[in-house]
Amino acid sequence: MKEVGAYEAKTHIAALLDHVSRGESVKISRHGKAVAVMIPATEEKKTPVSEAIAKLKNLRKNASLGGLSLQSLIEEERK
């Protein structure tokens, strides 16, 4: 892991981003103490909308309020 001081990081941010984009990590320090690490971003796996909706429907179908209805809970709160 490459280590640079905060001033150098500020001055050479473009070059450091090139290193990180190639998969390297860069530790940034201030007065000899590590304060940050630049790491390559990972691609987030996006769930297809249809799959997310199916999961929500399944959750809703299997959810339990312990025998209470949503309407009874609303009415109880209004008292």
Are 26 and 19 in contact, with CB atoms under 8 Å apart? Answer: yes
Q: Look at residue 60 in the predicted model and tell me its pLDDT.
A: 80
User: Could you give all domains of the chain from N- to C-terminal order, each with its CATH number?
Assistant: 2-38 (3.40.1620.10), 49-78 (no CATH)
pTM of the model: 0.53
- Position 5 scores a pLDDT of 95
pLDDT along the chain (79 residues), means of 10: 94 95 94 94 84 88 74 80
